[in-house]
Amino acid sequence: MTKDFNHSILIVDDEEKIGKSLERLIKKIGARSFYAPSGPQALDFIQKLNEPLSMILSDQRMPGMEGTQFLEKARAVTPDTVRFLITGYADISAISDAVNRGAVHRFITKPWDNDDLLEMIKSGLQYYELVVENRDLFALAKKQNTRLYNLSQELKEKAAAYKQVIVRKEKQIVQLKKRLKTRRGEADHYEQIEKMLEENQMFEKDAIVLCYQAVVKEFFIQFKELAARSGFLMPTEDESSHNV
């Protein structure tokens, strides 16, 4: 038993003095106890209870509804609750079917030893704790798996979007390369003009260089604008002038 659990035990017995005796025994382990004198009253109590019920201790021979019948109905209402049946030796064969069906976790024969019964109750409460913890862990694992799946789907969608961006950029790069190739072809015209002007002594060498630098500068400005529209970062004008 752990301190994280506030255990509640329901005692069902048509003999009130037995119920009181069991209540005193349960009090020793710090668990709360409730008492009902019959199966129908116990079922009504369970349905109205607004908190988990750790264990049911039910007598077998009760008027109106036997313990096995009651525990089977109780299982449908609170399936995680541990169910113990108190019975005499003569009833063992009658309850074997209930045990096999899972309606009863364990049966206790009369008369019992209080110390032995107390250990059985502690063991049953520990079992209940494991059931609850496993259920909570399963629920948490299911929730986390759902979150991981949603995250995976989100990442796939973002990857697809980024892929489309990359494809567009690659197309822009191809187009830019074509434009650069065209501009390199135009550079041959500059050389031809320079040669013609020099041969005909229409321009001095220094003037031709200055003219050529001006043309290159204009080309750089246009190329810089084209690169900016295509998402490329170009060096500043000062840096480009220095390189020229």
- Choose the final residue of a domain: 106, 130, 154: 130
Q: Three-state DSSP class for 17?
A: helix
Residue 39 has pLDDT above 90, yes or no: yes
- Bridge partners (DSSP) of residue 87 are 109
Residues 6+ apart with CB under 8 A from 145: none
Helix (H) or strand (E) holding 29: none
Domain extent at residue 227? 163-243
For residue range 140-173, list pLDDT tens digits in order: 777 777 777 777 777 777 777 777 777 777 777 7
Side chain identity at residue 127, one-letter code? Y
Q: What is the mean pLDDT of residues 207-224?
A: 69
Structural domains counted in the chain: 2
Same-domain check for residues 19 and 110: yes
Say which residue the tokens 């309606």 belong to: 103
| CATH at 53 | 3.40.50.2300
- Output the pTM of the full model: 0.58
Mean pLDDT of all residues in 57-69: 90
pLDDT band at 217 (very low <50, low <70, confident <90, very high): confident
User: Does residue 141 fall inside a structural domain?
Assistant: no
